[in-house]
Amino acid sequence: MASSSSSRQQKYQVFLSFRGPDTRLGFTSHLLEALKGKGLDVFFDQEKLQKGYRISPELSQAIAASNLSIIVLSRDYASSNSCLAELSDIMDRNRTQGHVLIPIFYKVEPSDVRHLGGNFEKSFDLHDSEGLKQVQQWKAAFTEVGKLIGWHIKGDKSDRSEAEYIKDIVEDVIKKLMNGKSRSSSEQLVGIDDQKKIILDLIEQKNCRIIGLWGAGGIGKTTLADAIYKEVSTEFESCWFLQNVREKIKNQGRESLRNELLSKLLNQKDVRIETPSIGTPYLERLNNRHLFVVLDDVSDPDHIEFMGVGHFGHGSKIIVTSRDRQVLKIGGADKIYKVDKFNENDSLRLFSTIALKQSNSAADFRDLSNKFVRYADGNPLALKVLGSKLYTKSRGEWENELIKLKEYAEPKLSQILKSSFDALDEVDKNIFLDIAIFFKGESKKDVKEILNCCYKVAVSGINNLIDKCLLNILYKSFISMHDMLEEMGKDIVRGESKDPRMRSRLWTPKDVYQILKYNKGTDLIQGVKLDMTQIDNLQLCSTVFEKMHNLKYIHFGVPWHLRDCWKAKLLADGVENIFLPEELRYLSWDYYPFRSLSSFNPKNLVILKLCHDNIEELWNEDDHLIPILRSEVLGSLVMARCERLRLLSELPPYLGLLDAHGCMSLENVSFMDQNLYRYHSSVEDDDEDAYDVFFLLFSNCFSLNQDSVDNIEANAILNIGSLAKRWASRYDSDCATECIPRLVCCFPGNRISADKFEHRSVNSSINLDIDSNGCSRSRFLGFAVCLVADLTPCHDHVLILSSIEMVTKDENYVEASFKFYIRSYENSVDETVIDNIEVKKCGVHVFYVDAESDTYGGWPSNGEASDSFSSTESSNSDELSNDESNRNLDSREDVNDTEMRHGGKRRLSCDAEEGDGEPKRLK
C-alpha cells in the first residue's frame, strides 16, 4: 500500500534538502534555478511548505514522491533538527528502497561529516545535551551520508567557480534520472550511459542476434555488458551472465561450463552433455525459449558455437565480450561494437569517486589527479586500481606513486593485461616488445617495413596485435599503444634477466651507458635505445658493438626541442669509423660522431637516420662496399643538417625518403642506374600501407653543383614515371587516400628544366593544350608540376610535385589551365592563413596513360612501383581538384626547416570548370 500511495503522489523529480540560512540565498537558489531551467520539478521548502517544519507526513511524502534527493551539507546543516530529520528519512529510503541521492559537501570536509568532526561535533554535542531520542539515529544517518560519493565544493581561491559545479551537478542529476534504476553515486556506471544506449538500440534490431563487445583488458566491456544485462534480462524467459569464459574453460573444461550454462537456462539441475554437439531433448527445449545470455571474456570463436547459442529460440539475444576482434568476427557476431575509453571528464570523475570518495577532484589534488588520469588514458580498470591504491594517502604519497609509474607497471594492471600477451605466438610477442620499446609513435608504414625484414610476417602480426587491442593506430598513420602496455612490455624484458647484458632489449640510460662504457655487449642484445640527454659524456671505441652480432636496432636520440642547441655526448675515441653488425635494420643516431660508415655492410638496413652529425660521406669513394647500397630494402635515408657532408653517391633510385635538408657543404649527389635496380617494397602489395610516397628534400643545400641538381631532378622524374602507371591502373580503386602529394622534391634554384617540363610560365598561372587522343581506347591524363618560389629569405627553391589527385580520366579535354599558390598556415587548430608565398615560375608536364594497356606517353619509366589509391573525381563532373592543404611537409625527422618557418602547410590548387559538350576545357 505504501508503494502504491507513493506512486500516486509522484510529483517531484528532485527533493532539495538544505540549511536555509547557510545557502538559501546563494548556492541553493542558483542550483534550484539551474534545475528548473532544465525543466525539472524540484521540491523546495520555500515554495511547497512553510519554513522550519520538522519532519511531517507531508515532508516524508514529498521525499517518497521524489525520484532523487540532493542534500546540501553546509557548515550548520547539523544544527537544524528539521534538516537532520529530512536526512534520516532520505537515508532510510536509500537503504531500504534504493532511493537515489546526491550529497554535496558545501564548504565542509567529507571526513568531518563521516566522523562528526569540526563544527558538526559541536552541533551534535548540543543535541545530546537536549536529550533528544532521535540523536543516535541522526548521527548514524549523518555518518552514512559522509561515506557516500558526492560533490565537494571547497569554495576557496584554488577551487572552480560555483557556476561550473552547478552545471556538472545538473548534468549528473539528469543522467541519474534517465537511468532510473542507477545506484546513488555509483562508480560502476560512470561514463557508460552513451555506450549503453547504443547497445540497447542494437538489441532492439531484429537482425542483430549476437552482439560483440570488443576492447582492451580493463576498458569496461564486462561493466557495460552487466549494465545491459540488468536492464533487459527481465524481458526474457531465461537469462544468464557467464563470466570469465576463458578462465573457466581453462580450469573446468568447456563441456562442464556448457552444462552449467544450460542448467541455468533450462532451469534443470545436472544437465549433462558429453558430446561435442547438443542433441535431443535439449535442442528442442532451447529452440522454444526466448533467452538472453552474456558470454564474458571469450578467447576462442569455437566456444561461442559450442555453448549452443545457435539453437536459442527466436528473438534471443547474445552479448559476447572479447579482447580479440577476430574471435567475434569468426564467432558469428552480427554487430561488433568497440568499447570506447573514457573521456577526460568521465575519467576524472571515476578516479575521484575511488581515490577521494567524491564526484569531483579536490583542489589540493587536482594537478596530481589529472596526471594519473592522463596515465590511465581512459581505461576504467586503471582508474579504479590507481584510485583504490591512493585512497586516504597523502599528497606526498601520491607524488611517489606517480614517480613509480614512470618506471614500473602497476602489478595488478600488468597481470590482467599480460594474459593477452601470453596468448600470442612467439613472433607476435617479439613484434609487440619491439614496438613497446623502440617504435611506439613511429610511422606505421616504416614500422611494418622494418619488422617485415626481421620476421617476414610482421604485417599480419601487427594486424593481430591491433585486433587484440594491444596496439592502435593514431591518425591512420602512426603506431601507438597504451602507456600501461608499454610498461608491461618493459617489465617482461626486465624479467628476462637481472643482468642487462642477458636481456634482449636495452633502453634505460643507466644500463645502456654501462654496456657502452665497459664494452659489455653480448649476442643476446637485439636492440638499444638511448635518450642521450640522460647520460654523461662517453668516448666510444671502434669495437663497442662488435659482440652484439644480433643487434637489429640502434636508436640514439635527442628530444626534438633540444636538437638545435645540443652538444654531442657520445664521442669518437680517436677513431674515424665504428664496427656495426650486419643484422642492423634500423640505425638512427643523432650527432653520429664518426666520419663515415666505412666497414659497415648495410645489406639489411631499412632506415638510416644520421642527423646533425660530423659525417663527411657515407662511404669512402673507393670503398668496395658502395655497391651494397643496391639493397632493395633500404627505404629511408635521413641526413638532415649534416653540415660537413660533402658526398652522397650511388644512392638507390627509389628511396621513399631522402632528406638532406640543411647539408650546407653537400656538393655531389648521384644515383645508381635504375636499370640495375628493381623497385621493391618489403610490405606486401595488398597491404593498405603498400603505397609509394617519395620525398627528396635538398632544401638549403646551397653547395650543390649543377650535375647534382640535374641528377636530383632526373630522379624525381623517374619516380613520377614509376607511379604514373600504378595510379592509372588503380584509378577506380576503393582504397582511400589522403589529399597529399605523393612526390615532393625540393632543391635550391630558379630554373625549370625545358626538356622535363614542356609547358612553362614566368608567373604563377599557365594555360596548356591537351594532345588529342589518336586512338579509340580511353586514356588517363597525369600532371607533374614544377614551381619556383622563395621558401627561405633571399633564396629561391625549385619544387617538383605530383600526386594521385593529379591523375584524371580524359573526357576529350583540349585545354587545361592552372593557377598555383603556396599558403602558409599557423600551426594551430583553426589553421589561420598568415602568409602567402609567391610562386615566381611554374611548369607542367602532361603524360598520357593508356587505360587498357597501362602504357603512357611521356617520360620513360623502368620502374615497377606499386601504389594504392582511390580517385576523388565525381562521375558527373569534369573537375580536377588538387588540395594538399592538409599535408604538413615537415616530417618529425626535421625534413624541411625552411618550410617549417613558414608554418609547414602548403596548398596546391588547380581550379576546374565544367565544359559544354565536346571538346571540353579542363581548368
Mapped onto helix, strand or coil, the DSSP state of residue 268 is coil
* 557 membership: H or E segment, kind and range: strand 553-557
The answer to whether the bond into 593 is cis (omega within 30° of 0) is no
The residues near 17 (Cβ < 8 Å, ≥ 6 apart) are 69, 70, 71, 72, 83, 86, 87, 90
Q: What is the DSSP letter of 758?
A: S
Give the CA angle between residues 226, 227, 229 to the nearest 5°.
60
- The Cα–Cα gap between 738 and 512 comes to 40
Neighbours of 514 (CB within 10 A): 14
* 516 membership: H or E segment, kind and range: helix 509-517
- Among candidates 52, 78, 53, which has minimal Cα distance to 146? 78
Across 229-370, the runs of DSSP E, i.e. the strands, are 238-242, 291-295, 317-322, 335-338
- Grid coordinates in use for 862? 623502368
Q: What is the DSSP letter of 180?
A: S
- Grid coordinates in use for 629? 647500397
Backbone angles phi, psi at 713, to 5 degrees: -60, -45
Q: Is 684 exposed, middle or buried (0-12, 13-18, 19+ CB in 10 A)?
A: middle
- The Cα–Cα gap between 160 and 182 comes to 27
- The Cα–Cα gap between 23 and 75 comes to 10
The residues near 310 (Cβ < 8 Å, ≥ 6 apart) are 332
Q: Is 747 exposed, middle or buried (0-12, 13-18, 19+ CB in 10 A)?
A: buried
- The Cα–Cα gap between 81 and 88 comes to 10
Q: What is the dihedral of CA 795, 796, 798, 799, to 10 degrees?
A: 90
- Among candidates 224, 202, 203, 206, which has minimal Cα distance to 214? 224
Positions marked active-site: 86
Q: Is 681 exposed, middle or buried (0-12, 13-18, 19+ CB in 10 A)?
A: buried
* 221 membership: H or E segment, kind and range: helix 221-232
Check if the beta carbon of residue 787 is closer than 8 Å to that of residue 893.
no
CA distances (Å), origin 833, targets 788, 829, 896: 21, 12, 19
The answer to whether the bond into 602 is cis (omega within 30° of 0) is no
For residue 839, the cross-strand partners are 789
Across 244-385, the runs of DSSP E, i.e. the strands, are 291-295, 317-322, 335-338
Mapped onto helix, strand or coil, the DSSP state of residue 239 is strand
Check if the beta carbon of residue 14 is closer than 8 Å to that of residue 68.
yes
- The Cα–Cα gap between 444 and 432 comes to 13
Q: Which residue has the cell 512553510?
A: 50
Across 161-258, the runs of DSSP E, i.e. the strands, are 210-214, 238-242
Angle between helices 380-390 and 411-422 (to 10 degrees): 150
Q: What is the DSSP letter of 466?
A: H
User: Using H for helix, E for strand and C for coil, what is the string for 826-871?
Assistant: CCCCCCCEEEEECEEEEEEEEEEEECCCCCEECCCCCCCCCCCCCC
- The Cα–Cα gap between 430 and 527 comes to 12
